[in-house]
Amino acid sequence: MEKRIAYRNGREDNGSHSPCLPGPRKVTYTMYIYIYIYTYTTSAIKNSIISMDTSLLSLFVFVLVGRVLGSMPTESSFDQYYNISWGDGHFLSLDQGREIQLSMDNSSGAGFGSKLSYGSGFFHLRIKLPEKDSAGVITAFYLTSHTNNHDELDFEFLGNKEGKPITLQTNVFANGQGNREQRIHLWFYVDKIPIRVFKNNTMIGVSYPSQPMQVEASLWDGIVGQLMEAKQRLIGLTAPFKAHFQGFNIDGCPYNLHSKPCDSSIFWWNKEKYWSLSSTEQRVYEAMRNST
C-alpha cells in the first residue's frame, strides 16, 4: 500500500473529492506507516536497472489508516527491537510489551529508537495519534543516521484542532541536506494510496540517503520561542497527550551484522516488483496529487 506526498499546500476538504479517493467516516483511526528502502544499480544503456550491487537506495513510502489499534494482531514485543531514548517518565509498556504509550505534558515528551542500524529493509509501526485538540503536538516516525552530515526520512503527524483533518508532513535529509518538506491533509482514507516517492537521482547530482539508519519514534511539542507561554497554557489545559504504538517487527538488514550485503537480492524488499509503482498505484497517486 503505497502513498506519495506531493506538497500542494494541502487544503481542507471542500466536498469536491476525487471519486478515486474514499472520504473518511466517523470512526476511530489508527495510522500505519510503512517504509521500503531498497537498492539498485542503473545502467548507462537506456538507464535500465541491471544489478543490485551498490549502496544507492530507492525509497517508497506507505501510510495506512483505518482500524482501531487493538484490533490488529501483533507479534514482537517492544524490547526485542527497541529501547526508550528519552522521557522515561512518559513511557508506558502495555500488553506485555506489545503496545507502547508515549505521553507529553508541560515537562516533557518521549521517544524510542531501534537497537540496531539498518542498511536496507521494510520498516513499519502502527500508530494511534493523540485524541482531542492537539495543535502543536507532533507524533513522529523516522529513520536517521545520527552522523554529522546525516541522512533522515521523516514522517510527522502535525497536531490538529479537534475535528480538523490530520496533516502529515514528510521530509528527506541526504548528506545533511534537507528542506524537502511536503504536506498533505488526510481528509481521505489513505489505504493503498501512494503519498510520496523520493527517487534516486544521484546521476544528476541530487543527494540521496545512503547511510545506515536507526528507526525512531517520538511525541514532542512543535511550539517554540515567543509562543512558549501560550504553549504551556495550552498543554496545561489539555495534557497529557498520548500516542500508542504497536507492530514492532523490523524486516531489515542490520548494518555490518549480516553475512550478505544489505543490497542483496536475497531480501524480499530488494525484489524488482518494488522498484516502481504499479499502474493502479500510479493512477491513485496522481488522483491524490490532483485533489490536494
Question: What is the four-CA torsion angle of 124, 73, 241, 162, rounded to 10 degrees?
Answer: 90
Q: Give yes or no: 156 in active site.
A: yes
Active-site residue, selected from the candidate residues 152, 216, 281, 286: 152
What is the C-alpha to C-alpha distance for residues 100 and 111, in angstroms, rounded to an integer?
11
Give residue 83's Cα distance to chain centre.
18
Question: What is the four-CA torsion angle of 168, 288, 121, 33, rounded to 10 degrees?
Answer: 40
Q: List CB contacts of 180: < 8 A, sequence separation 6 or more.
A: 171, 172, 173, 198
Can you give the length of the chain in residues?
292
For residue 259, give Cα distances in angstroms to 80, 262, 263.
21, 9, 12
Active-site residue, selected from the candidate residues 2, 12, 75, 156: 156
Catalytic residue numbers, as ranges: 152, 156
